[in-house]
Structure 1
Amino acid sequence: MITYREALPSDYKEIALIHAASWKKHYKGILPDSCLDDKLESDRLEIWKSRFAENNPNQNVILAEDEGQIIGFACTYLHHKSGHGSLLDNLHVLATHQGKSIGLTLMQKAFDWAKNYAPTENLFLTVLSENELAKGFYYKIGGTLEEEYMEEFPKGNSILVQRISWNKRPTL
């Protein structure tokens, strides 16, 4: 049975490993191999350790668990500095658990949390333009394309991304 809960600082290692595994699976052939090399796991570990060390009240991380094992997560930030609303910065579900509405439920929980604290803001994310699988999912659950632009990515690469937003709760 899938359960959902807020992440604890002690969850950072599992979150980082899911994050890295997702990038390796979904960004292969989109990002340069140098972004997906052996250093990716240690990079994600440092990022997540740092995020939890900050104790940011505008950050919320929701976990999906299957029998106590973390299988996915969503990380949201209120009042993103871009001015576009609340940012869904990360949404990742292990490949073994995709297609079971876990990503949708995580998005709904992220949306509900953001709307509770910032009711006038849309929820938005950015997605790599070449990531057709993710974009298909986002549009299927009610996302609206706001813009497409070049963004600086790790290791000095520029890549085409789309900003997709929701002003209503994501649903199928």
Structure 2
Amino acid sequence: MITYREASKNDYKEIARIHASSWKKHYKGIVPDYLLTEKLDIDRLAIWKERLKKSNANQRIILALDQNKIIGFSCIYLHHSSGYGALLDNLHVLSSHQGKGIGLILMQKSFDWVFEMTPEDQLYLTVLSKNEPAKSFYYKIGGSFQEEYMEEFPKGNSILVQRISWNKRPTL
């Protein structure tokens, strides 16, 4: 049975592992290979340790667990960009658990939190334009295309992304 809870500061290692694993699988062939090496693991570990170290009322990290093992997460920031609403900064589910509705539930829980905290805001994310499986999922659950543009990516790279948003709860 899949359960969901808010992340605690001690969850950073598993979150970082899932984040790096997801990038290595889904970004291969889209971003330069040197960005997907073991340094990615170290980088994600440092980022998630810092993000979870201190409390941030505008941030929420929701975990999906299978038998108390973290198998996915979402990370949302309220008031991220003026005019765009709340940013879904990360949504990752282990490959072994994809296709079971976990990503949709994480999206719904993220949307519900945003709506509860700032009902006037919409939820949005950016996705790599060449990440067809992710884009397909986002559009399938009601995402609306907003724009396509170049965004700065780690290590000084720029990459083409799409901004996708939801002004109503994601659903199939």
SS at match of 2:134: helix
TM-superposition CA deviations, 1:6-35 (whole Å, max 9, x none): 111100100000000000000000010111
Q: Structure 1: any 5+ residue segments left out of the alignment?
A: none
Q: Does 1:2 align with 2:6?
A: no
**After the TM superposition, which parts of structure 1 deviate over 3 Å for at least 4 consecutive aligned residues?**
none
Identity of aligned residues (%): 71
What pairs up with 1:89-100 in 2 under 5 angstroms? Answer: 89-100=89-100
**Aligned position for 1:46:** 46
SS at match of 1:79: strand
TM-superposition CA deviations, 1:82-110 (whole Å, max 9, x none): 43000000000000000000000000000
Name the CA distance, whole Å, in 2 between partners of 1:82 and 1:132: 27
What pairs up with 1:23-38 in 2 under 5 angstroms? Answer: 23-38=23-38
**Aligned position for 1:111:** 111
What pairs up with 1:1-172 in 2 under 5 angstroms? Answer: 1-172=1-172
Cα distance 1:32–1:132, how it changes in 2: closer, same or farther (>3 A)? same
Name the CA distance, whole Å, in 2 between partners of 1:24 and 1:150: 21
Superposed CA RMSD in Å reads 0.7
Name the CA distance, whole Å, in 2 between partners of 1:75 and 1:152: 19
Q: Structure 2: any 5+ residue segments left out of the alignment?
A: none
Letter in 2 for 1:125: L
Shift of 1:37: 1.0
Shift of 1:54: 2.9
Letter in 1 for 2:155: K
Matched residue count: 172
TM-score, normalised to structure 2's length?
0.99
Name the CA distance, whole Å, in 2 between partners of 1:44 and 1:80: 20
Shift of 1:81: 2.9
Letter in 2 for 1:162: Q
TM-score, normalised to structure 1's length?
0.99
